Structures are given as C-alpha cells and as structure tokens.
C-alpha cells in the first residue's frame, strides 16, 4: 500500500516514515503545503496522512483539493490541535479519520489499515480470486489452501493486479504504486519484468486458477484460467 505523509516536523515525519516502511508500506513524504499539493495532484495514494498546520498553508485546503479531484485516496488528519471544530470540519470535508498528536505509531498503523479496508476493500482482510486467497494483514498467500511464498514486491504486485483485475496494469502504474518515490532511480522497467516473471512462475507451479498475461506495449493483466 502506498502512503503519503504531509507533515512539516522533520523528526515526526522521519519516525512515521521509518515505522511504516518497516510495516511494508511504500512511503512518500512532503514537508510543506506546496509539495503536498504537487503530489496529490500528480499521484494516487492508498492513504494520505495530513497535518493541518503547515508552514505555507492549511492542510484542510489540501483536503478540499483532493476531494475536488474525486479521488479515492483515504485521508487521516494528524494534528496537535485537539479542536472539535477542526475535527468536525475535516470529517465533513471527507477525511476518513482524525488522530491527535501525540499518538502511538501502532495506533496510527491500525487506523491506516482500517480506513484502507473500509474505502478500498469494503472492510475485507482477505482478497479471494478463484483458488487464490490473499491475507492482507499477514501478507500471506495460499493457493487451494496451500501456502505460496512470495517476496515483498511479488506480494505487492499480486495485490495490485488483483485489485485491478479487470484493467490493464501499465508498467508505469505498477512501478509508481510499488516503488513510489524510488522509481526515479530506475532507468527502465526491467525490474518489473523480473518480478512479474517470478510471480507468474510461482502461480503456475502452485496450479493457481489465475495467471498474468502480458499486454505488449502496455503492461500486464490478471486473467482467470
């Protein structure tokens, strides 16, 4: 899952980013209003962690902009202000949750999982397609109830393809959602081909009733056998 942290306090931003990366999220960050605006306009995220008090603007204006774009990004407001008015305004603007600083990182993680399940996965902890079952919380996969071992990127790609099973997943979209900011370091998409190749082999070796087709010149598509 891809998370954007919009937070001006460097140490808090660093701690949140480090913790979420250890929890296997792809994490991007913005330290001010302008950078946050550029990112929410340009990219999609599973969840945006949004500070209200930014040095060059109000986080609620970012929330208004995000909702005006009619995007599906979940939003959790992070604020040192325990103001009922701020909380009510944020929720009325479309925020999914509100967390007052200071907070425990474990609670933040639980809130992120909850809002993503509610918004993107209808509250589900599992994704099931034919004889393949994905446990999103445990990050495990079974095929016909037998475990299938995947590395972190293979798991993330499989989840992305299942969630977009009726669409062609372009290589650029896979790269952006799985690698996040680090995609700028790549010269081409050969690394995606390698992960897809390994994932496809494991699905076939485990007799999964789904497969990954290559749509030449575009990307990949998950298909049911």
pTM for the model stands at 0.68
Which residue do the tokens 């009325």 mark?
A: 92
- Kindly list the structural domains of the chain, giving each domain's residue range(s) and its CATH number in brackets, ordered by start: 2-120 (3.40.50.2300), 126-224 (1.10.10.10)
CA neighbours closer than 13 Å in the CB half-sphere of residue 167: 10
pLDDT tens sequence across 61-97: 999 998 898 887 899 999 876 666 777 888 888 899 9
pLDDT band at 171 (very low <50, low <70, confident <90, very high): confident
For the chain, the average pLDDT equals 88
Residues 6+ apart with CB under 8 A from 26: 1, 2, 3, 156, 177, 178, 179, 180
Look at residue 122 and tell me whether its pLDDT is greater than 70.
no
> pLDDT over 70 for what percent of the chain?
91
């Amino acid at each position: 899952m891809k998370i954007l942290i919009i937070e001006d306090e460097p140490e808090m931003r660093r701690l949140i980013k480090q913790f979420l990366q250890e929890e296997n999220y792809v994490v991007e960050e913005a330290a001010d209003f302008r950078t946050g605006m550029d990112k929410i306009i340009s990219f999609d995220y599973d969840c945006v962690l949004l500070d209200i008090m930014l040095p060059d603007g109000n986080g609620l204006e970012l929330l208004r902009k995000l909702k005006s774009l009619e995007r599906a990004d979940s939003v959790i407001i992070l604020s040192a202000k325990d103001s009922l008015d701020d909380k009510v305004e944020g929720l009325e603007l479309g925020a999914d949750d509100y967390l007052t600083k200071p907070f425990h990182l474990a609670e933040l993680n639980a809130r992120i999982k909850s809002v993503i399940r509610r918004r993107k996965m209808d509250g589900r902890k599992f994704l099931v397609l034919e004889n393949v079952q994905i446990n999103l919380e445990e990050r495990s996969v079974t095929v016909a109830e037998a475990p299938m071992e995947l590395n972190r990127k293979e798991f993330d790609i499989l989840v992305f393809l299942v969630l977009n099973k009726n669409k062609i997943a372009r290589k650029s979209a896979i790269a952006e959602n799985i690698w996040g900011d680090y995609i700028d370091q790549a010269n081409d998409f050969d690394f995606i081909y390698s992960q897809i190749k390994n994932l496809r082999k494991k699905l076939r070796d485990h007799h999964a009733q789904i497969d990954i087709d290559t749509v030449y010149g575009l990307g990949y598509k998950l298909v049911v056998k």
